[in-house]
Amino acid sequence: MATPEDIVAGMRLGCNHPIGRLALADMIGLDVCLAVMDVYLAQFGDSKYRPSPLLKEMVAEGHWGRKTKQGVYNYA
């Protein structure tokens, strides 16, 4: 329900994070985030590691973050 900018502002102001979670995910790479979540899910079997359908969709479409110039944010 919130925009990516609202989420980043909330994390920066509320949790004193230097960078928002969505910007960090874009920097790491959404494909890497998905791969890590898949490994955690397989190893621990805990549903809290199940990747969201939106993340899977974005990775399938090639929106991997900064390295592809498109992720949560557009870097073109």
Model confidence over 56-75: pLDDT tens digits? 999 999 999 999 999 999 99
> Which class for 48: exposed (0-12), middle (13-18), buried (19 or more C-beta within 10 A)?
exposed
73 within domain boundaries: no
61 within domain boundaries: yes
76 within domain boundaries: no
52: domain CATH number?
1.10.1040.10
Instruction: Map residue 26 onto helix, strand or coil.
Output: helix
74 within domain boundaries: no
- Taking the C-alpha atoms of residue 69 and residue 76, their distance in angstroms, rounded to an integer, is 6
Backbone φ and ψ of 57, nearest 5° = -65, -45
Give the residue numbers spanning the domain of 22. Answer: 4-68
- Taking the C-alpha atoms of residue 45 and residue 42, their distance in angstroms, rounded to an integer, is 5
Structural domain count, the chain: 1
44 within domain boundaries: yes
What pLDDT, on a 0 to 100 scale, did the predictor assign at position 3? 87
pTM (predicted TM-score): 0.83
What pLDDT, on a 0 to 100 scale, did the predictor assign at position 8? 82
pLDDT in tens, 17-41: 888 888 899 999 999 999 999 999 9
